[in-house]
Amino acid sequence: MAPIEGFSKLTKEEKIDWISDRYTDNSKETKATIKRYWNTDKELQKLHDEFIENTITNFYLPLGIAPNFLINDKLYAIPMAIEESSVVAAASKAAKFWLHRGGFKTKVLGTEKIGQVHFMYQGDCRKLERFFQFVKPKLIQDTSSITKNMEKRGGGITNIQLRDKSKDLKDYYQLHCTFETLDAMGANFINSCLEQLAQTWKAEALEYAEFSGEEKHIEVVMSILSNYVPNCLVRAEVSCPIQDLQEGEDISPLEFAEKMVRAVNIAKVEPFRAVTHNKGIMNGVDAVVLATGNDFRAVEAGIHAYAAKDGQYTSLTHASIDHGRFSFWIEIPLALGTVGGLTSLHPLAKMALDILDRPSAKELMQLVAVAGLAQNFAAVRSLVTTGIQQGHMKMHLMNILNQLQATEAEKNTLVSHFKKHTVTHSAVVEAIQKIRKG
């Protein structure tokens, strides 16, 4: 099949015709499916079309609400955009569990964001250091047109360092820059600053009297923010006396607390467990990040890097028993925004932020961390008591029934049936076949 030239210049209808006719078995059905997901509000659909390039339709995810989150003595209902069964239910269950046990406590530990100018320099590193000290005021000065509005609000460039990385890679150095971007995630702001820094850096090097020959010709490889923000950190915690952890007659509060601590400790030392353990945390984190119009891929990358910061991938959550109290907490890096980007463009993202009482970026960091902690508590709680599948498969039941094209009557019958029976795909298939055979 020949490649296409000028695909982006085709109309939306032409793009749909092209993709349907060439890459699907049933062109008519494909076109109908694509158009079925168009929004009937033409202005709203136009807005969605312009978010990205070559849009043909919308890809919907459910937006759910997890209520009853008591966070720093304030009650929240948290919006979550996710397709995975049981995530919203698990978060809600954890929120309810801690509602009358003091709720969640949170604290922002830092808001520093990072960007770097990566460059190659062939010459005396002592000369480079002297050049850096000489030109640093000029670097700040030349970005002033970009930073002035951010500085008025209390943000801007907080520091620039010269870092010698030539032991890791021949001739490699970097300008390591830190930023405060307040309620904006700040990617565009940071990248604009970095590109200006790079221009000034190269231009000034050509005129620097101490440089000669190749030293003058600094090669800037790239200028880009980092999604690893270990100093943009938030902590969320739950804690209560051990006797308040009563889980039923089958397990004592102390045994439950000890099982929770052991499960977390296993995730600390065993990377195979830690990855799945942290994936559960990200079920909660990503769902809120996505619902509020933030970049969940950047958040994922930064958090997983943080989980490996000490040389081995490990648990993001911690648990302890100390002086008769059980504590469960998380510390994660989160670079989020509540202004700019999709947060002000996407109607549902705006609505989600309204539901959260229009939080600042710092407040949103805390809410997202709580969602991750709640999700992990719910998962580990299930693992050390009833097992993960009991609750998850009951939530997954409706997906199986929809796959089997069950009628409403069949769904009602089988939901009732599986309240008392174990849900597996084969068990559901067998049960629906019995109904259909009469």
Tell me phi and psi for residue 177, to 5 degrees. -115, 140
Q: What is the pLDDT of residue 265?
A: 98
Residue 249 lies in a domain: yes
Last residue of a domain, one of 176, 208, 226: 226
- The arithmetic mean of pLDDT across residues 225-238, rounded, is 98
**pLDDT level of residue 391 (50, 70, 90 thresholds):** low
Dihedral sign, Cα of residue 139, residue 140, residue 144, residue 147: positive
DSSP 32: H
Whichever domain contains 331, its CATH number is 3.90.770.10
Residues in contact with 270: Cβ distance below 8 Å, sequence separation at least 6, in sequence order? none
C-alpha–C-alpha distance, residues 282 and 170, integer Å: 37
What is the model's pTM? 0.88
Q: Is 295 an annotated catalytic residue?
A: yes
E strands, 227-284, are 233-241
Residue with tokens 């809120």, as numbered in its chain: 288
Q: Looking at the structure, tell me whether residues 160 and 24 fall in a common domain.
A: no
Q: Looking at the structure, tell me whether residues 374 and 294 fall in a common domain.
A: yes
Contact 200, 138 (CB under 8 A): yes
Q: Residue 180: is its pLDDT beyond 70?
A: yes
Bigger pLDDT: 403 vs 195: 195
C-alpha–C-alpha distance, residues 66 and 355, integer Å: 11
Contact 200, 135 (CB under 8 A): yes
Residue 127 lies in a domain: yes
Residue 35 lies in a domain: yes
C-alpha–C-alpha distance, residues 88 and 316, integer Å: 20
Whichever domain contains 220, its CATH number is 3.30.70.420
Q: Hey, what are 243's tokens? A: 């006797």
Q: What is the pLDDT of residue 395?
A: 62
Which residue in 186, 207, 197, 208 sits closest to 161, CA to CA? 197
Residue 57 lies in a domain: no
C-alpha–C-alpha distance, residues 215 and 223, integer Å: 20
Q: Looking at the structure, tell me whether residues 407 and 340 fall in a common domain.
A: no
Q: Is 392 an annotated catalytic residue?
A: yes
Q: Hey, what are 28's tokens? A: 């008519």
Helix (H, G, I), strand (E, B) or coil at 99: helix
Q: What is the pLDDT of residue 419?
A: 73
| Weakest-pLDDT range from 107-121, 132-146, 386-400 | 386-400
Contact 65, 371 (CB under 8 A): no
- The arithmetic mean of pLDDT across residues 334-351, rounded, is 93
Q: Is 207 an annotated catalytic residue?
A: no
Q: What is the pLDDT of residues 80-98, one digit of tens each?
A: 999 998 999 999 999 999 9
**pLDDT level of residue 390 (50, 70, 90 thresholds):** low
Q: Residue 413: is its pLDDT beyond 90?
A: no
Q: Looking at the structure, tell me whether residues 364 and 238 fall in a common domain.
A: yes
Structural domain including 364 reads 64-108+234-386
Q: Looking at the structure, tell me whether residues 97 and 152 fall in a common domain.
A: no
C-alpha–C-alpha distance, residues 254 and 62, integer Å: 38
Contact 236, 104 (CB under 8 A): yes
- The arithmetic mean of pLDDT across residues 408-423, rounded, is 80
Q: Hey, what are 399's tokens? A: 């997906």
Please count the other Cβ atoms lying within 10 Å of the Cβ belonging to residue 11.
8
Q: Looking at the structure, tell me whether residues 299 and 261 fall in a common domain.
A: yes
Residues in contact with 297: Cβ distance below 8 Å, sequence separation at least 6, in sequence order? none
**pLDDT level of residue 402 (50, 70, 90 thresholds):** confident
Q: What is the pLDDT of residue 394?
A: 59
Give me the amino acid identity at 164.
D
Q: Which of the following is catalytic: 93, 118, 392, 396?
A: 392
| Weakest-pLDDT range from 135-149, 224-238, 288-302, 421-435 | 421-435
C-alpha–C-alpha distance, residues 318 and 336, integer Å: 23
Adjacent-strand bridge partners of 159: 178
Last residue of a domain, one of 226, 249, 270: 226
How much is the mean pLDDT over the chain?
A: 94
Q: Which of the following is catalytic: 48, 217, 268, 279?
A: 279
Residue 59 lies in a domain: no
Q: Looking at the structure, tell me whether residues 250 and 333 fall in a common domain.
A: yes
What does the angle CA 332 – CA 338 – CA 341 come to, to the nearest 5 degrees?
110
Residue 56 lies in a domain: no
Contact 365, 234 (CB under 8 A): yes
C-alpha–C-alpha distance, residues 93 and 257, integer Å: 17
Q: What is the pLDDT of residues 13-72, one digit of tens each?
A: 999 999 999 999 999 999 999 999 999 999 999 999 999 999 999 999 999 999 999 999
Q: Residue 389: is its pLDDT beyond 60?
A: no
Q: Hey, what are 376's tokens? A: 């992990």
Torsion of CA 127, 133, 135, 140, to 10 degrees: 150
Q: Looking at the structure, tell me whether residues 178 and 288 fall in a common domain.
A: no
Residue-wise over 340-371: b if at least 16 C-beta within 10 A, else e?
Answer: bbbbeebeebbebbeebeebebbbbbbbbbbb
Q: Looking at the structure, tell me whether residues 370 and 337 fall in a common domain.
A: yes
Give me the amino acid identity at 67.
P
Please count the other Cβ atoms lying within 10 Å of the Cβ belonging to residue 90.
27
Helix (H, G, I), strand (E, B) or coil at 94: helix
Q: What is the pLDDT of residue 45?
A: 95
Q: Hey, what are 137's tokens? A: 């005021």
Q: Residue 377: is its pLDDT beyond 70?
A: yes
- The arithmetic mean of pLDDT across residues 417-425, rounded, is 77
Q: Residue 393: is its pLDDT beyond 70?
A: no
Q: Looking at the structure, tell me whether residues 94 and 239 fall in a common domain.
A: yes
**pLDDT level of residue 410 (50, 70, 90 thresholds):** confident
Q: What is the pLDDT of residue 319?
A: 98
Residue 319 lies in a domain: yes
- The arithmetic mean of pLDDT across residues 114-120, rounded, is 98
Contact 400, 428 (CB under 8 A): yes
Q: Looking at the structure, tell me whether residues 425 and 303 fall in a common domain.
A: no
Give 190: exposed, middle or buried? Use CB within 10 Å, 0-12, 13-18, 19+. Answer: buried
Q: Which of the following is catalytic: 84, 204, 215, 255?
A: 84
Total count of domains within the chain: 4
Residue 211 lies in a domain: yes
Residue with tokens 């409403």, as numbered in its chain: 408
Angle formed by the axes of helices 271-291 and 347-355, to 10°? Answer: 100
Q: Looking at the structure, tell me whether residues 325 and 249 fall in a common domain.
A: yes
Q: Which of the following is catalytic: 286, 295, 363, 396?
A: 295
